[in-house]
Structure 1
């Protein structure tokens, strides 16, 4: 799977680059390729709404893409405020579309937002629970902001209660604070229903944390949930692989160093950890991956995590675990957080069917 994706990217480069590739610098003895520039148009396969979204992103860019961690720390208050304000405006629109009720609660000492869909089954024995972990590089975002961008559509489309977790982040807290918080919420969930009726998912840092939480559950000898979703993330906390370089160039972001390392915002949470520790990056432990529940991966061809996700999917399949990988053409990291896109609605339908199948649930009728 990983090799086929890399070959596809190379073919795209050959087609788009034309004669530019003929002028490429010869490769280094270690196989490193100096990639020439070439025009990369927006994918013709995207919906008009998605084309407009991608075009806007290319033109305006990400203001944090070239910030080192010193600058991130200095601007963190503004980054946090900006992300939350954007999310709150999106949530106001989501609540017009999706019939849910929001409840601020505390589960086992951890603040959460319980998203209760009006489509939940009347029979308590038929109800299911999903635990959502928001993104934000482990330094910004909240359960009631970025978390609800996923939790609201997923709750409404599955008929399942979704609990968005307000886990501790850096730089105020360090690893494994977030994993500990998720485990507390999971223990509270296990008091309500069996593990096979509970799912765990998240996007970006939340997707990474989903993998780390499963590793933490294994360490704590907790039963694995019935299903997990690693969205816009894989099992390597540093997002290694080809796509890390390709997307950095495409997004005019910081390129990795010659040794492949790259300071990332998440370092403000991780501190001085061993990134090959399975509790940080479960992708490096076959015994741990062999314990994973059925896992769904959502990513896209312009997402930095693509290689990481493809590699982890291949590892799980090779170990005999059930793993579903869905890659959306032409879109970028965390694209589904914009629920207005037709492609995002496709992704949410994939998520709903996946969790319904593995948690033994019946999906509610779609709205008229």
Structure 2
């Protein structure tokens, strides 16, 4: 198992961690999860949409699998492979955030990799449960592969988006579709029932309260589409996984599940690595543009994705040559 500990955070990390611990975590613990509390959360994405536009990125609005998608493309000339892309699935506990809140991380991933990034506005609570969110994510992946001609698609996501990415990997394997070229997880949620696990705690987490996930848990099974397959991504067969890289905040609530997954994949011969960063908050790469540590983490994962897609492309070309011979 390849685990790298990053022990030298930037100076900006400390106030971000402290503010999250003192302000964000108590607020999340107290926030109501009924319709009164969940419905106004869409305003967060609306506010972020008013922010400045990223430089070096061109954005287009389209649909994949019947859902709105924002496509980020590198501005200017590019030598990228037109058959390669990244599918990004945002986090937010399956109740909050959207395209605007995650524009910075999607844009930076686009710039660092040189690949188009498709960010999906999947349905989430209180409108729909996790089964519907998974369906939206998977249908977007299917359309990229089957209808739009992409032969190598990297799946990436933070927090809840990491769970959706794992389900895309599971369903692609189930249906005999080409596997993703790589999986990038930023503090991925890998166990939908983590709040029921007696070995998990949020005591050391900068802002995630496990009690809130416990209260959300019954809502995850809300329709209209039922959740099928595993509820723990570690239960997906290792042979379904592509090369995998995970970034976590040291001692965050979700880190033990990430370690478990990486250990399993490594033991089964899948290229897998985890980068654990001290004095960081959950899903800190989303703070791209505000935190040097986030930029370095994104650059590292982008390079990993490029290497994985290059390897997949070379393997495909070799197979094509052998087929002709």
The two structures have a TM-score, normalised by structure 1, of 0.73
Aligned partner of 1:344 in structure 2 is 294
Aligned partner of 2:11 in structure 1 is 48
1:257-290 per-residue CA deviation (whole Å, 9 max, x = no partner) reads xxxxx61435423349xxx9743322124xx232
Match for residue 204 of structure 1 among 147, 159, 164 = 159
Aligned partner of 2:49 in structure 1 is 88
The 1-side partners of 2:64 and 2:292 are apart by 35
1:254 Cα offset (Å): 5.0
The 1-side partners of 2:198 and 2:157 are apart by 21
Q: Tell me, which stretches of 5 or more residues in structure 1 are unaligned? A: 9-42, 257-261, 362-368
Aligned partner of 1:103 in structure 2 is 60
1:243 Cα offset (Å): 5.3
Q: Aligned-pair RMSD on alpha carbons?
A: 3.1
Match for residue 296 of structure 1 among 242, 245, 249 = 245
1:71 Cα offset (Å): 3.5
1:218 Cα offset (Å): 2.0
Aligned partner of 2:320 in structure 1 is none
1:214 Cα offset (Å): 1.2
Following superposition of structure 1 onto structure 2, how do residues 307-326 of structure 1 map, counting pairs within 5 Å? 307-326=256-275
Q: Summarize the Cα distance change of 1:234–1:61 in structure 2 as closer, same or farther, 3 Å threshold.
A: closer
Following superposition of structure 1 onto structure 2, how do residues 12-23 of structure 1 map, counting pairs within 5 Å? none
1:120 Cα offset (Å): 5.9
Following superposition of structure 1 onto structure 2, how do residues 1-368 of structure 1 map, counting pairs within 5 Å? 45-67=8-30, 71-82=33-44, 84-85=46-47, 87-88=48-49, 91-92=51-52, 95-96=53-54, 98-118=55-75, 121-122=78-79, 125=81, 128-142=84-98, 144-190=99-145, 191-195=147-151, 197-239=152-194, 240=197, 242=199, 244-247=201-204, 251=207, 253=209, 255=211, 263-265=214-216, 267-271=218-222, 278-285=229-236, 288-339=237-288, 340-360=290-310
Larger relative contact order (CA 8 Å, sep ≥ 6): 2
The 2-side partners of 1:168 and 1:118 are apart by 29
The 2-side partners of 1:167 and 1:206 are apart by 10
Q: Which has the larger radius of gyration?
A: 1
The 2-side partners of 1:170 and 1:221 are apart by 30
Q: Summarize the Cα distance change of 1:316–1:44 in structure 2 as closer, same or farther, 3 Å threshold.
A: closer
The 2-side partners of 1:349 and 1:268 are apart by 35
1:255 Cα offset (Å): 4.9
The runs of at least 4 consecutive aligned structure 1 residues that moved more than 6 Å come to: none
1:271-325 per-residue CA deviation (whole Å, 9 max, x = no partner) reads 49xxx9743322124xx23211111111011421111111111111111111111
1:310-365 per-residue CA deviation (whole Å, 9 max, x = no partner) reads 1111111111111111111111201111112111111011111111101119xxxx
Q: Tell me, which stretches of 5 or more residues in structure 2 are unaligned? A: 312-325
The two structures have a TM-score, normalised by structure 2, of 0.82
1:57 Cα offset (Å): 2.0
1:220 Cα offset (Å): 2.3
